Chains A and B, each alone.
Chain A
Amino acid sequence: MSGRRLRAALLLAVLALAFSPGIARAQALVADLTSHLVAITTGFTGTSVVLFGATDGAGDVIVVVRGPERDMSVRRKSKVAQIWVNTREVTFAQAPSFYSVASSRPLDQIAAQPMRQLQQIGLENLRLKTAGTVSPEETAEFREAFLRNQIRAGLYVPAVGQVSFLGSRLFRTTISFPRNVPTGTYRVEVFLVRDKAVVTGQTVPLVISEIGLDAEVHDFADRYALLYGLIAVLLAVVAGWLASLPFRHS
C-alpha cells in the first residue's frame, strides 16, 4: 500500500472510531492495528505494523508490545581446561519473547516509576521470574545477560519508540519486528496517561505466524515426526538418484 493511501485509510478509520456514537463517548481510549495478522513467508525480512487510535482529550499514550511468553534459558560459559564450556544455566519462566515500548513523550516525564513498574513499562521494569531457586546476585547477573542477549538479537528494543499525535486526540505509532521475530500471539497494550497515572488501558492482540510452505513443513515436522523423517530420507534418495542419471553412460 502506498504511503498516501495508507494515511488516508488510517485517517478514515480513526475518524470512524473517534466519531462513531457510543464508542468514543463511552471510552476514553480507542486503538487498533492496521493488521491483526503478520504472515512470515519464505522471503520474510522483518515488517512493521501501524497502531492508531484516539483519546477523549489531552493526555499521553504509552504502547507496550509483548511477544508470546516462553521459558528461556540463559547459559554461562566459563573456561575449563583451556576451552569455553557452558557451566551454569538459569531459566526464566514465561518471559516475553519480544518486547518494545513507544511513548508520546519521554517515559519519566509522563509516568511515575511505581506505575511503570506495576505495568512493566520499560525493559528495566520487566518482571522476570527464575524457574527454581536462584540467589538474588545470580538472578541479577543472569537477568542483565538475558536482556543484553535479547537486545542484541533485536527481540527486546531498548529505545523507546515515538507515539505521534495528529492534533490533540488522534495518535499513531509504528511497531517494527525484525526478521527473526518469534511466532505466536502478541499483546499490544495501549495506556492513556494523565497526571502521571494510567487513566485507562486497552489490549489489542496481534498474531504473527508462519504462512505457506515453511509453516506447513514446520507444522508437519512437529506433528508427524516419523513420517517427516521418512519423507526427508525419500526426497534425498530421489534427489541422489536423479543426480546420478546424467552420468549413466560415462
Chain B
Amino acid sequence: MDIYLPIAELSVDVIVLLGLGAVVGVLSGIFGVGGGFLLTPLLIFIGIPPAVAVASSANQLVGASVSGVIAHWRRGNVDFHMGAVLLVGGFLGSAFGVWLFAILRRVGQVELVVTVSYVVLLGILGSIMLVESTRAIIRQRRPGGARRKLHQHMWIHGLPLKMRFRRSKLYISAIVPVGLGFLVGILSAIMGVGGGFIMVPAMIYMLDMPTAVVPGTSLLQIIFVAANVTVLQAVGNGTVDAILALILLVGGVIGAQLGTRFGARLRGEQLRALLALLVLAVAVKLARDLGVRPIDLYSVVMAGSA
C-alpha cells in the first residue's frame, strides 16, 4: 500500500516504512541506543531525499526519546541537572548545525557531507565497539583480568566553572557537558541522529557518570535537541515530513517491544559485538557508494533545493 509523503513529495510503501521503523525499534530495544544513526541512512537507501530524511529522523527521534526517558525516569535513572547543562550546549549546537545545513543545501553538498559524516562516525564507532566487545568476550573466558580504575584524573578535571551534580555524584567543570552537548547538537542537525552513540560513551568515559543514569540523561537531552532541530529544520529548510516521522514511530514502538524481549535473552558482550558488525556494515556500504561511479554523473534538482 503506497502513501504519498507530503514534504518528501513521493509515494512510498507504508509497509516498508513500518518495517524500517520496526527494525530500528528492535535495535533500540535490544541495544538501548536511539537507532537514529541507522534510520537516516536506511531512509536514504529507500529513496527519501537526504535533506528530508535527516529532518524527519530528528522528528521521529523526539517521540522515541520521550518514551525512553519515561521508562528510565520511573526507575529514577535521570539526572535532570546534568541534562539541563548538556541542553545549553545542545541548543547552541543544533542552531549552529541547522544554519550549516542550510548553507550546504544551497551549494548542493548536503548529500556528500551527510554521507561522509556517517562513514566517519559509524566507522570509528563500529571499530571501537567491536574491539571493546571482543575484549570483553575474551576476558569472560579468562577470569581475573585487570579492572578499570575507579576514578581517573584527566585534563578535563582541571577546567574552571565547577559544578556539583548530585544524582551523578560528580563535581566537574560545566564546560565539559556544555561542549559535549554542543557537539551532539551539531550532529543532530546535520545527521538527524540523537547522538546517543557519542553521548553515552562520552558520559561514561569522559564525565565519569554512573552507568545507570547515563541512558536516561542522554535521552532526556536528546528529546530537546531533536525537538529544537525539528522546529529549526521546519522553519529554515522546510524539510520535516511529520507523516513520515509518525509512520516510523508506529513501527518503532512495535519493534522496541520485540527488541526488549529478544534482548533479555542475549548476552551483553555478544549483543555489542553484533551491533558493532551491523554499524560497520552500514559504514562500508555508504563508503562504497561514495566511491562507486554513479549511473549518471548528472542529477537534476529544482533550483534552490537539495
Contacts and interface: CB of A to CB of B under 8 A. Distances in A.
Contacts of B238: 221-222, 225
Interface residues of B, number: 62
Given A222-B238, A229-B232, A229-B234, A86 B108 contact: yes
A150 B298 CA distance: 11
A148 B297 contact: no
A83 B7 CA distance: 29
Contact of A86 (B62, B109, B290): B109
A228 B242 contact: yes
Contacts of B230: 229, 232-233, 236
B29 to A, nearest CB: 11
B66 A72 contact: no
Contacts of A218: 6-7, 9
Interface SS majority for chain B: helix
A232 B66 contact: no
B296 A179 contact: no
A145 B235 CA distance: 33
A75 to B, nearest CB: 5
Contact of B297 (A76, A225, A239, A247): A76
A94 B69 CA distance: 50
B242 A217 contact: yes
Interface in B268-304: 290-294, 296-304
Interface string B177-202: 00000000000000000000000000
B95 interface: no
B2 A43 contact: yes
A239 B244 CA distance: 13
B245 interface: yes
A76 B294 CA distance: 10
A235 B242 contact: yes
A91 B293 contact: no
B299 A239 contact: no
A168 interface: no
Contacts of B100: none
Contacts of B227: 233, 236-237
Contacts of A82: 290-291
B203 interface: no
A125 B116 CA distance: 40
B3 interface: yes
Contacts of A222: 238
Contacts of B297: 76-78, 84, 145
Contact of B301 (A72, A180, A214, A248): A72
Contacts of A225: 234-235, 238
Interface in B230-264: 230-235, 238, 240, 242-243, 245-246, 249-250, 252-253, 256-257
A76 to B, nearest CB: 5
Contacts of B234: 221, 225-226, 228-229, 232
B4 interface: yes
Nearest to B110: A86
B87 to A, nearest CB: 15
B70 interface: yes
B231 A226 contact: yes
Given A236-B227, A246-B257, 18 more contacts: A43-B3, A72-B300, A72-B302, A149-B299, A180-B10, A214-B5, A217-B6, A218-B9, A221-B6, A225-B234, A229-B233, A232-B230, A232-B245, A236-B61, A237-B223, A239-B63, A240-B67, A241-B66
Interface of A: 40-45, 70-79, 82-86, 89, 91, 131, 142, 145-146, 148-150, 152-153, 179-180, 210, 213-215, 217-218, 221-222, 225-226, 228-233, 235-241, 243-244, 246-248
24 contacts: A45-B11, A71-B303, A84-B291, A84-B292, A89-B108, A91-B303, A142-B298, A146-B300, A149-B299, A153-B300, A180-B9, A180-B10, A210-B4, A210-B6, A214-B6, A229-B233, A232-B242, A233-B231, A237-B63, A237-B66, A237-B227, A239-B250, A240-B64, A243-B249
